[in-house]
């Protein structure tokens, strides 16, 4: 064997060893980005622990078995800098060891959240020795010079201390998890962003603000002009798309320029952390954002975080970060998730307010946005009763996961989500129109009309083949019609309490539409099914007669999670 051949074999072995050690990765399927774990698509049905719920061994041992009973497959867990490095240069990884041990014992994957220099903007999880030495580890400052409880992103000492602890923790994680692959993703920092002001006004920050906009960002904007976020493009165009100058010269003099500047430096800081992670343990990396909601301005919300309108700055300055993820606690769920599912950003929701409706929302984002997953916050406070709606939703979604994963990114799947204000949506597949509504638009459930607040209803609509669909979820009703048929029919017919239309409406429809033309679509069969681990279907029962209103629609009642296999036919 020649020396050249030996070298090639060694290099091949090194590459293979590195790849085999990476148990989780991101993979593109059509228009979707999927998380792969051990080479198979993995949908995160997760929950994030409360901030203090993994700070002692006893809590971890108590909570993790409950999470298994709740049907989770993943738990998001803080890794605290102050408890990891309580004394400078002295490290304690016992909490990390306990999390990994309990996760394996309870069949859970782990996403660790590095609570380092910043957590919800503040430096509250930095160790005491770091906080006290404010000369070596300086703070961000307001325009009046007031120091904040926020470490300055412009201090190399701050970065070196944060990164040293992070790298030591990552090395330990690699040592205990490289073979097992229990840890599938890592979040760097937490809800990073400036408060009180849109940017840091420390002397180092002011000097950087007066300097030229980095050429890398200028090149990025020019190269990606047609795909920039609309708000980013508008900001740049307001100054005639200048190609050089300082931040105010290129973007104008306002709070949003301050935010762009600060976003660049936060992202550049995180990129250096991400490079550390990649060199030690190459798992997917993400950052999370507190929302710019309720008409607040930068600094009133955490300015410069990984927000949707700053995606171009973050992608340019932090290319090693795989995705920007929203933490959702405000109304307008469908609008928020649409902002974060973009051609260059897959959707993952690492935090959402814990409610029973989170399961319904999970159906929606998986169907509509090919999401990687969802994770309600403070999950340990939820119920683990088998009849709890979130528990049942996760159980049904785990069953559905092989079917969802097979069809993500192929343009054959949609999600629907309804409440009392948003009751209806029409979907189109081929020459069919699917009219989807909240189940309470039917008059049969007393809660539909007695003044009760309607719980959210939603689900997944998946086209398996022509005239063959999967409908899965909770609290939805769907009518199928040929597009030409829909144009001729009166979609707004009033139903009586027995489910039949009001007196005379059929005659009125015939008179107004004239002679019927074209094909009609009918329901051949509706079967409740079980999804097997290989994605195949097992028949449970036929739902006919009253259950499909004599062939008029397909429905899943509120609180009645099901997977339905629907076959249609055509006639005239």
DSSP 446-500: GGGTSSPPPPPEEEEEEEEETTEEEEEEESEEEEEEEHHHHHHS-TTPPB-TTSP
Asked whether residue 120 is domain-assigned, the answer is: yes
Nearest alpha-carbon partner for 56 in 98, 111, 90, 103: 98
* Residues 443, 128: Cα–Cα separation, whole Å: 61
143 with 173, same domain: the answer is: yes
Asked whether residue 3 is domain-assigned, the answer is: no
Range list of β-strands (E), 6-107: 24-29, 32-37, 40-41, 44-48, 74-80
**Number of helices followed by number of strands (H, E) in the chain:** 17, 23
Burial of 67 (0-12, 13-18, 19+ CB in 10 A): buried
273 with 421, same domain: the answer is: no
Burial of 246 (0-12, 13-18, 19+ CB in 10 A): middle
Give strand pairing partners of 460: 415, 472
Asked whether residue 9 is domain-assigned, the answer is: no
Structure tokens at 72: 């989770």
Determine the structural domain holding residue 502 and report its residue range. 413-571
Residue 225 CA: distances (Å) to CA of 38, 245, 342, 566: 37, 18, 15, 44
| The pLDDT of residue 242 | 96
Q: What is the pLDDT of residues 375-431, one digit of tens each?
A: 999 999 999 999 999 999 999 999 999 999 999 999 999 999 999 999 999 999 999
Asked whether residue 295 is domain-assigned, the answer is: yes
* Residues 468, 519: Cα–Cα separation, whole Å: 17
Cβ–Cβ < 8 Å for 535, 402: yes
For Cα atoms 570, 571, 572, give the angle at the middle one, nearest 5 degrees.
Answer: 145
Cβ–Cβ < 8 Å for 132, 126: no
* Residues 361, 389: Cα–Cα separation, whole Å: 12
* Residues 186, 138: Cα–Cα separation, whole Å: 27
Cβ–Cβ < 8 Å for 346, 323: yes
Angle, helices 94-105/57-69, rounded to nearest 10 degrees: 20
Which of the listed residues 376, 407, 438 is the one where a domain comes to its end? 407
Which of the listed residues 407, 441, 473 is the one where a domain comes to its end? 407
* Residues 198, 251: Cα–Cα separation, whole Å: 15
Q: What is the dihedral of CA 66, 69, 73, 77, to 10 degrees?
A: -10
171 with 299, same domain: the answer is: yes
Check which CATH number belongs to the domain holding 455 and give it: 2.60.220.20
Give the chain's residues under pLDDT 50.
5-20, 491-492, 510-511
388 with 329, same domain: the answer is: yes
Structure tokens at 435: 């009219």
165 with 269, same domain: the answer is: yes
Residue 130 gets the label, from left (phi > 0), alpha (psi -120 to 50) or beta, of: alpha
| The pLDDT of residue 59 | 98
474 with 385, same domain: the answer is: no
Structure tokens at 539: 């028949």
- Torsion sign across C-alpha atoms 540, 533, 112, 290: negative
Asked whether residue 226 is domain-assigned, the answer is: no
344 with 442, same domain: the answer is: no
Terminal CA-to-CA distance of the chain, rounded, Å?
75
Check which CATH number belongs to the domain holding 321 and give it: 3.20.20.80
| The pLDDT of residue 516 | 75
104 with 159, same domain: the answer is: yes
Which of the listed residues 373, 407, 441 is the one where a domain comes to its end? 407
Structural domain count, the chain: 2
417 with 397, same domain: the answer is: no
CA 519 to chain centre: 41
330 with 377, same domain: the answer is: yes
Asked whether residue 386 is domain-assigned, the answer is: yes
Asked whether residue 228 is domain-assigned, the answer is: no
Asked whether residue 229 is domain-assigned, the answer is: no
282 with 378, same domain: the answer is: yes
45 with 114, same domain: the answer is: yes
Nearest alpha-carbon partner for 548 in 572, 561, 536, 565: 565
Range list of β-strands (E), 267-322: 285-290
Cβ–Cβ < 8 Å for 410, 41: no
């Amino acid at each position: 064997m020649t020396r050249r051949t030996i070298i090639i074999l060694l290099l091949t072995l090194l590459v293979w060893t590195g790849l085999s050690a990476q148990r989780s990765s991101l993979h593109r399927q059509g228009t979707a980005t999927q998380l792969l774990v051990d080479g198979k698509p993995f949908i995160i049905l997760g929950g994030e622990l409360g901030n203090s719920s993994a700070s002692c061994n006893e809590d971890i041992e108590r909570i993790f078995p409950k999470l298994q009973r709740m049907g989770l497959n993943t738990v998001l867990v803080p890794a605290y800098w102050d408890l990891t490095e309580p004394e400078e240069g002295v490290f304690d990884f016992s909490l990390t060891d306990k999390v990994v041990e309990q996760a394996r014992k309870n069949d859970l994957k782990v996403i660790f959240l590095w609570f380092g220099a910043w957590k919800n903007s503040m430096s509250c999880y930095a160790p005491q020795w770091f906080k006290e030495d404010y000369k070596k580890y300086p703070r961000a400052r307001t325009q009046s010079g007031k120091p904040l409880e926020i470490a300055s992103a412009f201090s190399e000492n701050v970065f070196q201390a944060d990164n040293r602890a992070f790298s030591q923790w990552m090395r330990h994680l690699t040592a205990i998890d490289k073979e097992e692959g229990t840890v599938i993703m890592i979040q760097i920092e937490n809800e990073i962003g400036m408060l009180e002001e849109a940017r840091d006004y420390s002397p180092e920050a002011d000097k950087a603000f007066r300097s030229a906009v980095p050429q890398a960002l200028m090149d990025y904007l020019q190269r990606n002009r047609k795909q920039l976020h609309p708000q980013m493009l508008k900001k740049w165009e307001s100054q005639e798309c200048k190609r050089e100058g300082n931040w105010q010269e290129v973007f104008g003099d306002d709070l949003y320029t301050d935010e762009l500047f600060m976003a660049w430096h936060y992202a550049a800081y995180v990129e250096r952390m991400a490079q550390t992670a990649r060199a030690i343990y190459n798992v997917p990396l993400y950052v999370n954002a507190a929302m710019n909601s309720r008409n607040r301005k930068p600094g009133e919300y955490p300015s410069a975080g990984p927000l949707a309108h700053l995606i171009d700055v973050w992608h340019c300055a932090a290319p090693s970060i795989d995705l920007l993820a929203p933490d959702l606690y405000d109304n307008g769920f469908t609008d928020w998730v649409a902002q974060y599912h973009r051609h260059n950003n897959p959707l993952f929701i690492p935090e959402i307010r814990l409610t029973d409706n989170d399961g319904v929302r999970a159906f929606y984002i998986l169907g509509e946005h090919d999401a990687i997953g969802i994770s309600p916050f403070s999950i340990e406070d939820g119920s683990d009763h088998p009849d709890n709606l979130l528990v049942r939703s996760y159980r049904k979604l785990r069953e559905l996961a092989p079917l969802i994963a097979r069809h993500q990114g192929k343009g054959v799947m949609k999600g629907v989500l309804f409440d009392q204000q948003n009751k209806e949506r029409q979907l189109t597949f081929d020459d069919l129109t699917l009219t989807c509504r909240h189940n309470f638009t039917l008059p049969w459930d007393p809660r539909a009309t007695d003044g009760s607040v309607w719980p959210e209803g939603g689900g997944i609509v998946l086209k398996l083949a022509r005239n063959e669909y999967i409908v899965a979820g909770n609290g939805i009703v769907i009518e199928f019609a040929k597009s030409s048929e829909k144009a001729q029919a009166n979609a707004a017919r009033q139903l009586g309490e027995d489910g039949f239309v009001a007196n005379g409406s059929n005659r009125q429809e015939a008179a107004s539409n004239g002679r019927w033309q074209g094909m009609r679509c009918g329901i051949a069969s509706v079967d409740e099914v079980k999804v097997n681990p290989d994605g195949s279907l097992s028949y449970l029962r036929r739902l006919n007669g009253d259950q499909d209103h004599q062939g008029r629609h397909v429905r899943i009642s509120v609180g009645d999670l099901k997977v339905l296999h629907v076959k249609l036919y055509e006639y005239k």
